[in-house]
Amino acid sequence: MKKRLLVTRRLPDEIHARVARDYEAVLNPEDRLYSTDDLVRLSADFDAFLVCLTDKLPRGAIEQLAPRLKVISTFSVGYEHVDAAAARAKGIAVGNAPNGVTIATAEIAMLLMLGATRRAPEGERMIAQGQWTGWTPMQLLGRRLDGKRLGILGLGKIGQAVAKRARAFDMLIHYHSRSRRPPGEEQGAVYHPTLEGMLAASDVLSIHAPSTPETRHIINARNLALLPRGALVINTARGDLVADEDLIAALKSGQVGYAGLDVFEGEPKHHPGYLGLDTVFLLPHMGTSAIEARIDMGEEALDNVDAYFAGRPLPHGVN
């Protein structure tokens, strides 16, 4: 008998087709949001959940899940929205989708970097608001990326993909991770054992670390002050790594020259202080918004569910 799988959000047709072939599935073509309470209630009717980062399953909710639910797989690399330790304690396997996100997210980091350093958002607004009166030699002068030091916080898969693309722009790669990466991953990048050391050597900071209690607000007033004046700050990871009030103050003072942000703490809410600033390039969490990425993410998330019911370890298990 087919297992019952709840797919909480609307996913690409290719993924729906695989789900419908292999599971007794409930899809969500209207893409309405389930609340945590909905998910707890629905757990009595399903063997597996395929969730997204918008579905919140903290410890208290996990503890109330019905015994029928055996596996939760998330259509995302980040899994801070599911308490994986609590799930483990309850015997529920949790998996994520760690690979398909990589290139698409790295591309958005480059887009933000280029847009920030060449002031593309201001140019776009100038035309949209009918304020462009013609070419001038000094209009919207930015800076080139070549020769600039890119400090990557977290040289995992996405960090490495950003480094690869930034090298093609002749940037100099620096990074900080908890431990030094092997030479094949470093590709000559300069390792800084401390975040502070890397920040002091970063004309551009790009954040690629997960959201954990330890990384919350890691980019704060103290750390922003260590960047060279006028540095760019790019965040495609999670909004809660940045202390918004501190970044806004640093943008206002000129300590940070430009911020390119794809993610926000508490999104879709975002700090209103960003909206009055010229020196921000803001996107609505589009890092993985490429059809290739979304299909790969769906395949990886389903691979976890398939493996569980085939009695195999999850290929992308996180607990």
Report in angstroms how near the CB of residue 299 gets to ligand DGY at its nearest: 14
Q: Which residue from 8, 43, 73, 76 is in contact with ligand DGY, where contact means CB under 6 A?
A: 76
Task: Rule CB under 6 A: choose which of 9, 70, 78, 217 binds ligand DGY.
Answer: 78
- Nearest-approach distance from CB 316 to ligand DGY, in angstroms: 11
> Across-strand partners of 261?
235, 282
Interface residue with ligand DGY among 116, 287, 308, 316 (CB under 6 A) is 287
| Site mask for ligand DGY (CB under 6 A), range 231-270, x = bound | ----------------------------------------
Regarding 159 and contact with ligand DGY (CB under 6 A), the answer is no
Tell me how far, at minimum, the Cβ of 274 lies from ligand DGY, in Å: 19
**Rounded least distance, CB 173 to ligand DGY, Å:** 23
Is residue 68 annotated as part of the catalytic site, yes or no?
no
What is the widest separation between alpha-carbon atoms in the chain? 70
Q: Which stretch binds ligand DGY (CB under 6 A): 74-82, 114-122, 124-132, 153-161?
A: 74-82
- Report if residue 73 touches ligand DGY, rule: CB under 6 A: no
Catalytic residue chosen out of the listed positions 149, 285, 294, 316: 285
- Identify whether 285 is a catalytic site residue: yes
Selected from 160, 202, 223, 288, the binder of ligand DGY by CB under 6 A is 288
Site string for ligand DGY, 112-141 (x = CB under 6 A): ------------------------------
| Nearest alpha-carbon partner for 68 in 15, 21, 24, 19 | 24
Specify whether 238 is catalytic: yes
77 binds ligand DGY (CB under 6 A): yes
Secondary structure (DSSP) of the chain: -PPEEEE-S---HHHHHHHHHHSEEE--TT-PPPPHHHHHHHGGG-SEEEE-TTS-B-HHHHHHS-TT--EEEESSS--TTB-HHHHHHTT-EEE---STTHHHHHHHHHHHHHHHHTTHHHHHHHHHTT------TTTT-----TTPEEEEE--SHHHHHHHHHHHHTTPEEEEE-SSPPPHHHHTTPEE-SSHHHHHHT-SEEEE-----TTTTT-B-HHHHTTSPTTEEEEE-S-GGGB-HHHHHHHHHHTSEEEEEES--TTTT---GGGTT-SSEEE-SS-TT-SHHHHHHHHHHHHHHHHHHHTT---TTB--
Determine the interface stretch with ligand DGY among 4-12, 70-78, 117-125, 134-142 (rule: CB under 6 A): 70-78
Catalytic residue chosen out of the listed positions 149, 174, 208, 238: 238
Of 195, 209, 281, 203, nearest to 238 (Cα)? 209
| Number of residues this chain uses to bind ligand DGY (CB under 6 A) | 7
Q: Of 56 and 90, which CB lies nearer to ligand DGY in the complex structure?
A: 56
Q: Which residues bind ligand DGY (CB under 6 A)?
A: 53, 76-78, 101, 287-288
Q: Report the catalytic residues.
A: 238, 267, 285
